[in-house]
Amino acid sequence: MFNQFGSTSETLSKASAVVLRIGTDAHLYDDPEDVNIAPLLDSKFESEKCEALKRLLALIAQGFDVSNFFPQVVKNVASQSSEVKKLVYLYLLQYAEKRPNEALLSINYFQKDLGDPNPLVRAWALRTMAGIRLHVIAPLALAAVSKCARDPAVYVRKCAANALPKLHDLRLEEHAPAIEEIVGILLNDHSPGVVGAAAAAFTSICPNNFELIRKNYKKLCQILPDVEEWGQILLIGILLRYVVARHGLVRESLMLSLHGMDSNGFCEKDGLVRDLTLDKEDGGKSDSFDVNLVNVVSKCYIEGPDEYLSRSSCPDTVTSAFDSKETTSIAHNEDVKILLQCTSPLLWSNNSAVVLAAAGVQWIMAPLEDVKKIVKPLLFLLRSSSASKYVVLCNILVFAKAAPSLFAPHFENFFICSSDAYQVKAHKLEMLSLIATASSITSILREFDDYIKDPDRRFAADTIAAIGLCAKRLPTIPTTCLDGLLALVRQESFAGDPESVDGEAGVLVQAVMSIQTIIERDPDSHDKVIIQLFRSLDSIKVAAARATIIWMVGVYCSLGPIIPRMLTTLTKYLAWSFKSEASETKLQILNTTAKVLISAKVDDFQMLKRIMVYMLELGECDLSYDIRDRTRFLKKLLSCKLASNEPTEDSVASQENIAVHVVEHVFGRKLKPFTPVALNDRFYLPGSLSQIVLHAAPGYEPLPKPCSFVFEEHDQLSDLDRQREAGAELDGSQESSETGDEDGSSDYDTESSVGSEFSSDDNERKVSNDASDPAAPLIQISDTSVSADQEELRSKRALDLWLDDQPSTSNQTPSAVNSNQSSYAKISIGDIGSRVKPKSYSLLDPGNGSGLKVDYAFLSEVSTVSPLHVCVEVLFENSSGEPILDVNLEDEESMKVADSSEQTLVGKANASYNNVPTLIPLEEISCLEPRQSAKRLIQVRFHHHLLPMRLTLHYNGKKVPVKLRPDLGYLVKPFSMSIEEFLATESRLPGMFEYSRRCTFDDHVKDSRMENGKDKFLSICECITLKVLSNSNLHLVSVDLPVANTLEDATGLRLRFGSKILSSEIPLLITITVQGKCTEVLNLTVKINCEETVFGLNLLNRIANFMVEPSSLTS
């Protein structure tokens, strides 16, 4: 009976939906402006107001700006109807920042609603009030949040936790301690829902305030399973970071236990671990875990992007990074045990993000034998939505790279379904080729065989590449693979005109390349395969595949007994087909013929010579200039060979003739033996965004340094007290740290441009001028009229009064508030120039370079070659006992280009770089005596502002690959501008172009000059400027000094630096604001305004990092 009724109502509702879309908001969305909205807003009927608001929201949804209705909408905030209220709030949040004056009108109602008995009303009011982002009401909002943090209703407390990041986002430095305190209260809440939200607040406000976690650690662990799923994700991360900071990594974990394995370090005594891992695998250690990679991974988790980039030693010579003091053992550490216990059931969570976060903790902290329990839950995630499938696969790939044995038995899970997206398929293929073992390879190859026939040809080509990888890893299978691949090549080449089917060409090229990779391992036993490939040359039409095979002719021309005998026929065939070839094939033919000629035997020589001459003639009048160039080059080079009648001249003659040597060297070289690829991948924490996009996203934080959080009861307490004190002191003078825009109009005539002095040519003179009067820095006081009473005006109470009493005058007041800036003085700092020392990095340490030590430092000079180049000073030093000869530094990329002309298969893209060499080389140092050092200047153009550049260092006839890492601070150049220009530019770059970070600074404390009676502010300024200019290439625009404050308090001190990004000439402004007392550690807020968001954020992180670093300069 019910069934019938149900079905009738369903048909009815369908009918209504179809006929008219009655009762929905369809007409409002389609035509929001068909009536006049303004009178509706003023209507006395709730329903009409509601309709008007819906129309406004429809306009917002469609991207129109309807902020002009703001005053009328704000009035309706007083409405009793919950729907009207909700809609008004939605509207307010959209536009409050744009119409700050009118938005203030609503504050009273929020205040009233906050006292409402209905928790939902309180929560809404709080959410909206915190969300409207006005600095003026921030103190009120903060008071409201701290009240709501103690609210009886859980929902309200949860909203209070969510409101904290909103307030934090307004960057009210002086309220930071209060905000952090509320975070602590909420983390200690007994309701899991609140704790989850508090975890989110903690992550975005004070992720390194481990003291807050320490107090509640056990409780947080216990409550973790009950926290909401979203809170769990973040809370897991927080707990992990805390444990690492407090106790360090776990000795038995995957991250460290393997480490002990090969270095015989501190793990030696832990016989238990060894036994466990050794009898676990049949194939032995090296098979189940990639020890090197595990070390790289664990190192990457700990160190930030800056350290990674400035790490001087090559990643594949990772040495013991972890001190045994910085580790802990699970057997003795209660905290670690609890963490592992409380996260392991979360592997069963319904939310894939929770599962991945929990798996990350187990991966990093769990003992080796327990890590395998993350495998099945992770694999189960592959059955979720296609979007999460991709992300999970990306993470599994990293796990599998380090520990293939974990996933090897589960290879079936990575078999490809027809419904998978292309990226998922590609990742699964990579996974399969990673985890294939001798036992599973037959099934995997059979699968691959199926994939090759897949209609998606790009995927088929990837499969063939994967076969090549498998064959490379597993020595047993190449023969089977080769037969299959050869058959494929034959079949593909008969498949008809490859142009007609897309992707077919790619499959063929990939097949030939996979064959080449397999042959490369052991060419001697595969000469039959090579011959077969040569034979199929006639039927293969795809230029890139032909080029590869022809290249192989050249490389393997003297291999085995049969190939040398085929050469004349082959070259004749090539000469015959030369005219009809594509240009990349033509280049390859020319190279190959030259190689064949060099290694030719006596009886073939005359014939080959004639063919060469013929081809050179053809090449000289080719349409493509590349080929003409190559022809002329070869003609010159081979002239000696072509003139002679014998394949090898007798030794006496050849020694005189350098050309012969050159030719032999260029074309007679054998292929280098197969070398494994260097481990230069960068890994990020599992589950992070950075791991997916493969660069450090802004805000990415590696794990804290092991044991960096040392808990000492006494110190912590006094520190907290001090903070609270400082907070209380600052409460009244909120605006003092606001921007000092008004100062720009005052007479500004200081000659403080320190930054430019370094870069200008006559800096010698100026510096000496300044140095002549070092004790008298110029202080100019621009405005001293602010008194304490005016400060009072801005206090909370006054604002309250004003809000209650005279809302009508709201137009003038905020600006009046703003104009009551406390005064600042401009100062100029003189004698810094001589003290700035650019930081130097090590390129090669003497241990690796048999006594040759190479350091480099970035210079602030602007390159003469092109605006994209950076000047780098390289210091060579011989610390060995013997002289070092022929030291030179070369660009690896450019060498590759040279190589590629004879080797590369497919036309390389990097030929098209804008014709500027990436490295302006230095003059070679012919001899470096022991203890002697030499300086050279090179100019470098980095391809990317984060990626290191690969260079090759030559010495004593040896070649060593080294990496030159860009320093972000020197990818900008000083931009000299006046303070007015600075402020004008700054005001043009608000919102998303402005970002800031906070950090601490303590150089001035150590600076001994502090004691000798010098002005404290000045020495702080000096310290900061010195630090900044030693690490980056900037121009100091101005220094603002707060005058109204006490002598002890440096709060309000502000330094501005101007610069331009080297590559794009986009201006980049840096403002550093100081907070704290002169004699103690200062809190700095570094703010960057720049259009180039990614670069700016990276630079911001760089600055924040080097400000914290202990200074190397000792005065």
Partner 1 sequence: MLQCIYLLSDSGEVMLEKQLTGHRVDRSICAWFWDQSLSQGDSFKSLPVIASPTHYLFQIVRDGITFLACSQVEMPPLMAIEFLCRVADVLSDYLGGVNEDLIKDNFIIVYELLDEMIDNGFPLTTEPSILREMIAPPNLVSKMLSVVTGNASNVSDTLPSGAGSCVPWRPTDPKYSSNEVYVDLVEEMDAIVNRDGELVKCEIYGEVQMNSQLTGFPDLTLSFANPSILEDMRFHPCVRFRPWESHQVLSFVPPDGEFKLMSYRVRKLKNTPMYVKPQITSDSGTCRISVLVGIRSDPGKAIESITLSFQLPHSVSSADLSSNHGTVTILSNKTCTWTIGRIPKDKTPCLSGTLALETGLERLHVFPTFKLGFKIMGIALSGLRIEKLDLQTVPPRLYKGFRAQTRAGEFDVRL
Our CB check for partner 1 shows the closer of 123 and 979 to be 123
Our CB check for partner 1 shows the closer of 695 and 954 to be 695
The CA distance from 371 to 275, in Å, is 16
In the complex, the smallest distance separating the C-beta of residue 772 from partner 1, rounded to whole angstroms, is 49
Our CB check for partner 1 shows the closer of 134 and 1021 to be 134
Our CB check for partner 1 shows the closer of 345 and 930 to be 345
Contact (CB, 8 A) for 567 and 595? no
For residue 877, what are the β-bridge partners?
Answer: 853, 933
Q: CA 171 → CA 206, 1071, 1089, distances in Å?
A: 13, 14, 15
What secondary structure letter does DSSP report for 1004? H
For residue 937, what are the β-bridge partners?
Answer: 873
Contact (CB, 8 A) for 206 and 167? no
In the complex, the smallest distance separating the C-beta of residue 438 from partner 1, rounded to whole angstroms, is 19
Contact (CB, 8 A) for 1021 and 1039? yes
Contact (CB, 8 A) for 816 and 794? no
Our CB check for partner 1 shows the closer of 123 and 730 to be 123
Tokens 């087909």 belong to residue:
577
Strand, coil or helix: what is 937? strand
Contact (CB, 8 A) for 334 and 359? no
Compute the C-alpha angle 1054/1059/1063, nearest 5°: 155
Count of CB atoms within 10 A of residue 64's CB?
12
The CA distance from 121 to 1106, in Å, is 47
In the complex, the smallest distance separating the C-beta of residue 85 from partner 1, rounded to whole angstroms, is 8
Tokens 């609603």 belong to residue:
113
In the complex, the smallest distance separating the C-beta of residue 562 from partner 1, rounded to whole angstroms, is 31
Contact (CB, 8 A) for 256 and 327? yes
Our CB check for partner 1 shows the closer of 13 and 317 to be 13
Q: How buried is 900 (Cβ within 10 angstroms: 0-12 exposed, 13-18 middle, 19+ buried)?
A: middle
In the complex, the smallest distance separating the C-beta of residue 1081 from partner 1, rounded to whole angstroms, is 26
In the complex, the smallest distance separating the C-beta of residue 194 from partner 1, rounded to whole angstroms, is 9
Our CB check for partner 1 shows the closer of 384 and 763 to be 384
Our CB check for partner 1 shows the closer of 821 and 1105 to be 1105
In the complex, the smallest distance separating the C-beta of residue 169 from partner 1, rounded to whole angstroms, is 6
In the complex, the smallest distance separating the C-beta of residue 423 from partner 1, rounded to whole angstroms, is 6
In the complex, the smallest distance separating the C-beta of residue 947 from partner 1, rounded to whole angstroms, is 15
- In degrees rounded to 5, what are phi and psi of residue 777? -65, 150
Contact (CB, 8 A) for 288 and 403? yes
Contact (CB, 8 A) for 113 and 121? yes
In the complex, the smallest distance separating the C-beta of residue 234 from partner 1, rounded to whole angstroms, is 8
Count of CB atoms within 10 A of residue 291's CB?
16
Contact (CB, 8 A) for 655 and 680? no
Our CB check for partner 1 shows the closer of 75 and 410 to be 410
In the complex, the smallest distance separating the C-beta of residue 443 from partner 1, rounded to whole angstroms, is 8
**Amino acid symbol at 215:** K
Our CB check for partner 1 shows the closer of 351 and 583 to be 351
In the complex, the smallest distance separating the C-beta of residue 296 from partner 1, rounded to whole angstroms, is 21
Our CB check for partner 1 shows the closer of 170 and 1113 to be 170
Our CB check for partner 1 shows the closer of 119 and 732 to be 119
In the complex, the smallest distance separating the C-beta of residue 659 from partner 1, rounded to whole angstroms, is 50
Locate 211 and state its tokens: 């003291």
Our CB check for partner 1 shows the closer of 380 and 614 to be 380
In the complex, the smallest distance separating the C-beta of residue 981 from partner 1, rounded to whole angstroms, is 25
Q: How buried is 65 (Cβ within 10 angstroms: 0-12 exposed, 13-18 middle, 19+ buried)?
A: exposed
Q: Which helix (H) or strand (E) holds 919?
A: strand 919-920
Locate 271 and state its tokens: 């016989």
In the complex, the smallest distance separating the C-beta of residue 514 from partner 1, rounded to whole angstroms, is 18
Q: How buried is 455 (Cβ within 10 angstroms: 0-12 exposed, 13-18 middle, 19+ buried)?
A: exposed
The CA distance from 1053 to 1020, in Å, is 9
Our CB check for partner 1 shows the closer of 193 and 846 to be 193
Contact (CB, 8 A) for 1011 and 1090? no
- In degrees rounded to 5, what are phi and psi of residue 70? -50, -50
Distance linking the first and last C-alpha atoms of the chain = 92
Contact (CB, 8 A) for 1115 and 835? yes
The CA distance from 691 to 398, in Å, is 9
What secondary structure letter does DSSP report for 865? S
Our CB check for partner 1 shows the closer of 124 and 551 to be 124
In the complex, the smallest distance separating the C-beta of residue 995 from partner 1, rounded to whole angstroms, is 8
Our CB check for partner 1 shows the closer of 39 and 283 to be 39
In the complex, the smallest distance separating the C-beta of residue 753 from partner 1, rounded to whole angstroms, is 33
Would strands 972-974 and 933-940 be described as parallel, antiparallel, or unpaired? unpaired
Our CB check for partner 1 shows the closer of 99 and 869 to be 99
- Sheet containing 852-862, strands listed edge to edge, beginning at the edge strand earlier in sequence: 840-844, 852-862, 870-878, 933-940, 919-920
What secondary structure letter does DSSP report for 408? G
The CA distance from 498 to 461, in Å, is 14
The CA distance from 1112 to 1093, in Å, is 30
CB-facing half-sphere around the CA of 435: CA atoms within 13 A:
26
Our CB check for partner 1 shows the closer of 29 and 266 to be 29
Q: What is the CA radius of gyration of the chain?
A: 35
In the complex, the smallest distance separating the C-beta of residue 540 from partner 1, rounded to whole angstroms, is 15
